[in-house]
A and B are shown apart, each in its own frame.
Chain A
């Protein structure tokens, strides 16, 4: 099929992976070259056109949903600002005593606009992503109650990245409502903020004040940016091709045929999947941030060495950071700071004290956050379980915090000592792996069965050996995965200590720099899991 035919059909599905050849050798270089040839004033428009074409190529006519979302937030923003302007004018003229009532009336109008935009944006997301899940569950309930009524399960085509761009769109509306950003009258700037091609598939979920201006004021590609961007992309490619894709055979086999594997294998698969997910998602973020860097745009980081976390709360501040920040700013704070919750906190504080009092309202907000988080990842019960699992872990951590502190004091344990920190890190890693096992399982029942086997049958045997021999994963693969993980661990430790490895590399002698880059490239070529015998993992977060 020629490029023109692909363009017309919007059928270049391989572009959904930023590591596909179609992207790395086709779309990205072509965009960079054409971008460089554009006059300065046209660069931003070119970037917008390239982004929309990219989305069209991966989603076809579903690009209409994205454009509709842009229109919604554009007009909602203008509407909100107009109300704010009217409010300011009215309150300036009003008597002091009337101002409060006036402000409230205008606030209610603004809330209506926000609710209107939310209904449209989340309505699209709910319909396209969740309607089938809800219908299946309603049908199950109806059958349970022997009601002779079944609804047809709707089937919709879902645009790639809808969960990401909907969150981004809503953050803009909320921010304009809160007055932290001014409404943008330039619909093209807003469209570029929403659709910038490196981030449209898997995020990060950017805020308007973080990227919109930077994207609109892009300049020519600089040699340093190009080198730094490509280096980052290469590092991500190594994570994806050498580790994530290599682990695919064992992860896919054990999770698909979990009934045939004993508990030992279930535990290994849980760890492998956690590593795979991290390598796939953080590797993709390296590609996204690296691509943006080429164009001179700094994107927010989505990972900050999550496996160095001492608690689950800390883990979620380091893993998928932009999602966590979104949930904190637009769900946790609004719920916990709402009037009923404030009242609950003050009355509970009197009865339960300063620790447990505020915890009550905080827990209600936390529950909303984790229910949303679970559902955001997918429309299935195992995702809801995944959310609730983390809710329970964080809540338990909050509840027993004074007890742990007291025990530590009593036993003279220094919580800042290295062994204690190491124990906390290990515990967090184990809890994360268990959560990810439920996340990856083919259903909640499958997840529970695997979890049970870890405790009741921690052996290493396979019922149907034929299944295992179909996939190849041997000691060589273990060595390669371990070697790359050690490299990544080294880089992570350096970064954790505030040493910027990339900067260090840039300052080193050209011979050293080139040797490292050649080494990295040859490592990907030789040890990458591609070609005959390998099935690369599809971009995991692109499905959310």
Chain B
């Protein structure tokens, strides 16, 4: 998904605001939206019709998510993995990180669904701090250099980190550490992400 597509999706999701608990005062939310950031919107993927196909993967698939040569410091790229309905982002932090890949061990990928109540963290990567958040729901903030540990948060789990592998210039997602918000199992109740393949799939866990 391109950044433009990401923003369009975000705008389409604004209707979901009304029913959800948001700590920010409403005008702050609107101001954030007006500033062009997709920050304050709610990602509605779980409610999408047909999300639950009843299928269940046995292993984590392998999926190319970025090219080393195309990643720029501090510019996240979105992708869904391991299921089509599970949104993540990959980013080159410009600083060494736990689980980081690439020549500088600074490329990481994380779920963008807050592990508190599922608020979207898309657009909330802060390059200055290598952090995600605060979540628009209840302010949870995560440190991406330290495995997604909550810095100041209501979340009860680290932000799920996508396990990455590098092959030449290609960066592959090959697994997930932690449970993605909304799911009882990262590999159940959805369809495998487009572009993912079971060739070279890894064991769970």
- A and B are interacting partners: no
Residues of B within 8 A of A (CB): none
